């Protein structure tokens, strides 16, 4: 728990949000892994952790992320922020239930 002065407070970070266009999730990618895998959520940031085979060179890791998540969910996946960062926001044209099942 965080504290400001004598007042404790909790920070809530929303990593999954449903919008009219689809579902927005925040992911933390780990490029250069042995295989592609969605491995749940990070215990500190609550970001969805995704392991990628490709290294982050020439957009190969981003392409793998979009392609493999799209196949797993049978949906279109777009990176909406974080193109050059390990932390990314994705827009997935799917329902929130399918996305949550993949994460768990």
Domains (ranges, CATH) in the chain? 13-103 (3.30.1200.10)
Q: Taking the alpha carbons of 32, 37, 42, 47 in that order, is the dihedral positive or negative?
A: positive
Segment 35-56 shows an average pLDDT of 91
Q: Phi-psi category of 62—alpha, beta or left, where left has phi over 0 and alpha has psi -120 to 50?
A: alpha
Q: For residues 12 and 75, which has the higher predicted lDDT (pLDDT)?
A: 75
Q: Taking the alpha carbons of 45, 51, 52, 55 in that order, is the dihedral positive or negative?
A: positive
Is pLDDT at 12 greater than 50 in this prediction? no
- Average pLDDT taken over every residue of the chain: 88
Is pLDDT at 39 greater than 50 in this prediction? yes
β-bridge pairing 2-4 and 7-9? antiparallel
Task: Give the pLDDT score at 37.
Answer: 95
The whole-angstrom separation of Cα 62 and Cα 6 is 43
The whole-angstrom separation of Cα 4 and Cα 51 is 36
Segment 29-56 shows an average pLDDT of 92
Can you read off the two tokens belonging to residue 43? 């215990």
């Amino acid at each position: 728990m965080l504290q400001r002065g004598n007042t404790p407070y909790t920070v809530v970070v929303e990593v999954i949000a449903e919008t009219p266009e689809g579902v927005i999730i925040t992911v933390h990618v780990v490029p250069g892994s042995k295989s592609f895998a969605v491995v749940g959520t990070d215990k500190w940031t609550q970001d969805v952790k995704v392991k990628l085979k490709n290294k982050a060179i020439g957009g190969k890791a981003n392409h793998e992320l979009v392609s493999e998540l799209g196949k797993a969910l049978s949906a279109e996946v777009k990176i909406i922020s974080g193109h050059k960062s390990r932390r990314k926001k994705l827009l997935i044209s799917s329902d929130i239930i399918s996305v949550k099942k993949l994460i768990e």
